[in-house]
Amino acid sequence: MPSSEARLNYRRQKLARQLAREARRLSLTQTAIVAAVLLVLIFGGLSLKLSHLLDFPQPWASALYFTILMAGTGIILMPINYYQGFVLSHRYGLSHQKFRGWLADRAKASALSFLLGLAVVVLIYWLLVSLPNSWWLWSATILFLLSLLLSRLTPTLLLSMFFKLEPLADRKLKNRLMNLAKRARTKILGVFTINLSTKSTTANAMLAGWGRTRRIVLTDTLLQKYAADEIEVVLAHELGHHLHKDIPKLMAIQAAMIFLGLYLANLVLKATVVPLGFQGPADAAGLPLLFLFVGALSVAVSPLTNAYSRLAETEADKAALELSANPQAFISAMTRLTNQNLSVADPGRWVELLFYDHPSYTKRVNLARRYNS
């Protein structure tokens, strides 16, 4: 691999910083618009009026309210979603997907999100009526189990909805990666590839699923442009998470967040019944308040969860260096991925603390250089 290919492309770093600034502004604008809509509904009295029009028993009143709310916010956010999801990725060369294909993927993702959200709303409001004192406990338990199921189904159902998943044809590379997984004491079903190049110019690798569905998934863009040593070290990072039991730890944190969030939501709903004129915690008029509270809580704790994630990613990098014993390939792979995916190599301190769930490129490369010294 020529040394020039393992150097940061500073022209692309300029583009990466521009893209990151635009993406952050759009995300913050989206968040502000959604928050404004929810606040107007709650404190402008519109939520009470709408709930009175939806004269149906629970949970169907809340299901219909949710449908109207999702349709309304979807229409309001449509220009931003189009600009962020289609225009920006094409402007910066990260996508070459045709508009029709992008729209079809967007429709599938939106339909899946809507159906899952609808199921959650029906569940919560059915439990609010049936078990008013313990609804949050049962809801949290079921939601956590649902998240485990979705994680297990990722490689077999969710990925296949958007990409063609095929066994890796390169037997030599497959055996090398399977042996790497054995050294990391991780059982996997096999090594597969997805046709990301039909839509995107980015590259990545992952361990998808868990238990009997766990498998190595490589993008064809990674296979096309990266050396075997670089692919191995990228995967070694993912296997490092399993060595350090990061998946069970993250599941435990996720469970704690779900239980805490719904417990606090229960307190909020009960405390606001009288001031906001709700007929009770199960009143459909409280749905925007529930969304607003959960969203605010997610934003509030995201710096903490990001900090934990960066720590776990650093430990996975250390494991990758130990498994591969090839810090030069690690540096080369990180550099090429940073160039190709238009990632900012050295973000500002506060930007990294608030928004990054991975350590910056500079910190990861410095870690590998210290291992090499």
| pTM value surpassing 0.95 | no
Structure tokens at 8: 């940061």
Q: What is the C-alpha separation between 245 and 341, in angstroms, rounded?
A: 28
d(CA 36, CA 346): 33
Distance CA 233, CA 221 (A): 16
Neighbours of 336 (CB within 10 A): 23
Provide the pLDDT for residue 152: 77
Q: Please list the ranges in the chain whose pLDDT falls under 70.
A: 1-6, 154-156, 372-373
In whole angstroms, what is the distance from residue 346 CA to residue 53 CA?
A: 53
252/332 Cα distance (integer angstroms): 34
Residue 367 identity (one-letter amino acid): L
The confidence score (pLDDT) of residue 4 equals: 39
Q: Are 354 and 303 in contact (CB under 8 A)?
A: yes
* Residue 233 and residue 216 in contact, taking contact as beta carbons nearer than 8 Å: no
> What is the DSSP track for 136-192?
HHHHHHHHHHHHHHHHHHIIIIIGGGTS-EEE---HHHHHHHHHHHHHTT---S-EE
Report CA-CA distances (Å) from 66 to 50, 71, 117, 291.
11, 8, 8, 10
Q: Report which secondary-structure segment, H or E, holds 194.
A: strand 191-194
Q: Is the distance from CB of 168 to CB of 224 less than 8 angstroms?
A: no
Under 8 Å between Cβ of 345 and 211: no
Instruction: Judge residue 260's burial from the number of C-beta atoms within 10 Å of its C-beta, 0-12 exposed, 13-18 middle, 19 or more buried.
Output: middle
Q: Using H for helix, E for strand and C for coil, what is the string for 305-373?
A: HHHHHHHHHHHHHHHHHHHHCCHHHHHHHHHHHHHHCCCCCCCCHHHHHHHCCCCCHHHHHHHHHHHHC
The total number of residues shown for the chain amounts to 373
Judged on CB neighbours under 10 Å (0-12, 13-18, 19+), 244 is middle
What residues have CB less than 8 Å from 282, skipping those under 6 apart?
58, 125, 128, 129, 132
